[in-house]
Structure formats: C-alpha cells, structure tokens
Amino acid sequence: MSTLKKLLTASAVSASLAIGLSAVVQAQSLGTPINESQLQGFDLIAQPNGSGYPAGGGTAMQGKAIFEIRCVACHGMTGEGTSANTRLVGGDMQSEERPIRTVGSYWPHASTLFDYVQRAMPADAPKSLSSDEVYQVIAYVLHLNGIIENSLVLNKETLMQVEMPNKDGFIDSSQAL
C-alpha cells in the first residue's frame, strides 16, 4: 500500500470511529497481508499438541556432548545448576517439604523444553543451536532426569509421547476473576 493511501485509510479509520461506524473499521486495513509460509523462520512457537516442530532429531547420547560444551558453564556438569534458577534436574513435588521444582519434577510438558531451549538458550548465544542440536540437548536434559532412555531418538513424533512426571500437576486458572 502506498504511503498516501495508508494515510487516507487512517483518516477514514479515525473518522469512522468518531461517528461509531465500527463495521467500517474492520474493512480498512493498515496491516500488510502475509502468508504463514513466510513466517517459517520467524515463528518459533512449539505447542504440546505437536504444532510448530521442525524436522530433525537425535539422542541423549549425542546431546551429552553439546550439553558439555554449550550448557555446563551455567547449568553444571550434570544439570545441578549454578543457582536455584539454573538447576535442571531433581526434585520431587510430593515428598519434599518445599519441593525443588525443575524440568524433571515440575514441568508438565516436554514441548516447553523444546520451545524454550530453541528460543532462549544457551543464554549467552540464544538461537545458535540447529534443530538437531535442540532435540539432542533436550533429550539429554530429559535423560538426566530419568525421563527417557539414552538411546531414544527424540524428534517431532517421539517428543509428543514423552510423559512428564508432573503432567497432571497444574490447574488452569486463566478464567478466574
């Protein structure tokens, strides 16, 4: 859309709002149409239902090497962490008085691990891992927590089948007033 046309459209939007013709507003668009296919390198959202996962995969065995190079400085050799915030293993929601809440003890979905590591980790160089490396390194984090076998090939399909120990531990309060 040309700049002039956008300006004209914008004044039409304000004018129609002023006289309350909100139906007219919906017909005006200042946004530029785009296709989902144009967002493939941009949309990192990966959900529990299996949407949003790239191709690729790998095992915890492969992930160990990545973890030891890219993660241990902040998360410790075996995920024990360098602070409460960076502990990745252990804890028990039922037996401990103040449960240590980690990926292993607390997180309800394995998808969150993929989604988060892909978008935010390693914290000193986010988004620097390939999709294969993300699958492999999170396989290792799951393995350190005793959730999957060393040899399981974690990918789009198998990730959906991973059962997290605290999967039933959450209550959706989003509609509470």
Partner 1 sequence: MTKQDLEIVAANGLINRRHLLGLGLAGMGTLASTSLLGADAGLNLEIPGWSKQPGANASGYGSRSRFTDDMQRMSGNPNPLYPGGGASRSPLHQLQGSITPNSLHFERHHAGIPDIDPAQHKLVIHGLVRQPLVFSYEDLLRYPMVSKIYFLECSGNSGSLFGPNPADGSAQSLHGLVSGAEWTGIPLSTLLDEAGVDPDARWINAVGADAASMGRSIPLNRAMDDVMLALFQNGEPVRPGQGYPMRLFVPGCEGNISVKWLTQIKLTREPTHFRDETSKYTDTRLDRKSQQFTFPMGTKSVITAPSGQMKLERQGIYQVTGIAWSGRGSIRRVEVSADGGRTWADAMIDSHQSEKALARFTIPWQWSGGDAVLQSRATDSQGNVQPTRTSLVTEKGNISTYHFHGIQSWAVNTAGDVANVYA
Find out whether the peptide bond into 122 is cis, omega within 30 degrees of 0.
Answer: yes
Pairing of strands 57-58, 154-155: antiparallel
Q: Which of partner 1, ligand HEC, none lies near 70, with the C-beta cut-off 5 to 8 A by kind?
A: ligand HEC
Among 85, 94, 173, 175, binds ligand HEC (CB under 6 A): 85
Taking the C-alpha atoms of residue 77 and residue 110, their distance in angstroms, rounded to an integer, is 21
Per-residue binding string, ligand HEC, 105-144, x by CB under 6 A, is --------x--xx---xxxx------------x---x---
Taking the C-alpha atoms of residue 14 and residue 124, their distance in angstroms, rounded to an integer, is 45
Q: Is 45 one of the binding residues for partner 1 (CB under 8 A)?
A: yes
Q: How many CB atoms lie within 10 A of CB 68?
A: 13
Task: Map the footprint of partner 1 across residues 55-74, applying CB under 8 A.
Answer: 73-74
Binding piece for partner 1, criterion CB under 8 A, among 6-14, 62-70, 132-140, 149-157: 6-14
